[in-house]
Amino acid sequence: MSGVRKNLEAMLARGQDSALLRFSLGSLCLQSDEAPLAALHLEQATRHDADYSAAWKLLGKARLQTGDAAGAASAWRQGIAVAERRGDQQAAREMRVFLRRLDRQG
């Protein structure tokens, strides 16, 4: 486990919970092939800030890695709606690509 991750987990243990903290932990867990834990952190990130399109995008990836294709699609659909509402067209495009790939696989 990286020092950065340990520091972030210590912040969480001290009650400094936030969308950015959870997004960062989720991203690090995803990079460490800990998709179930990543999904939990990213779900919390979206609860803290439902308009965090990057968290929705990573949540979809984490759910897909855990085998939850329906959950991944749901996260990306929510993320696309958020990204479009906020004008984040790049994130919306990326999530649309992920959805199309998922549809082709399914």
Question: What is the Cα–Cα distance from 29 to 39, expressed in whole angstroms?
Answer: 9
User: Cβ–Cβ contacts within 10 Å for residue 57, how many?
Assistant: 23
pLDDT at 2 over 90: no
pLDDT band at residue 20 using 50, 70 and 90 as cut-offs: very high
State mean pLDDT over 77-101: 97
Express each pLDDT in 58-81 by its tens digit. 999 999 999 999 999 999 999 999
Q: How many domains does the chain have?
A: 1
Counted residue by residue, the chain has a size of 106
Helices (H), the chain: 3-13, 19-31, 35-48, 53-65, 69-86, 89-105
**Per-residue model confidence (pLDDT) at position 106:** 73
- Taking a C-beta distance cutoff of 8 angstroms, is the pair 57, 94 a contact? yes
What pLDDT, in 10s, does the model give residues 22-65? 999 999 999 999 999 999 999 999 999 999 999 999 999 999 99
27: CATH? 1.25.40.10
Domain containing 77 equals 3-105
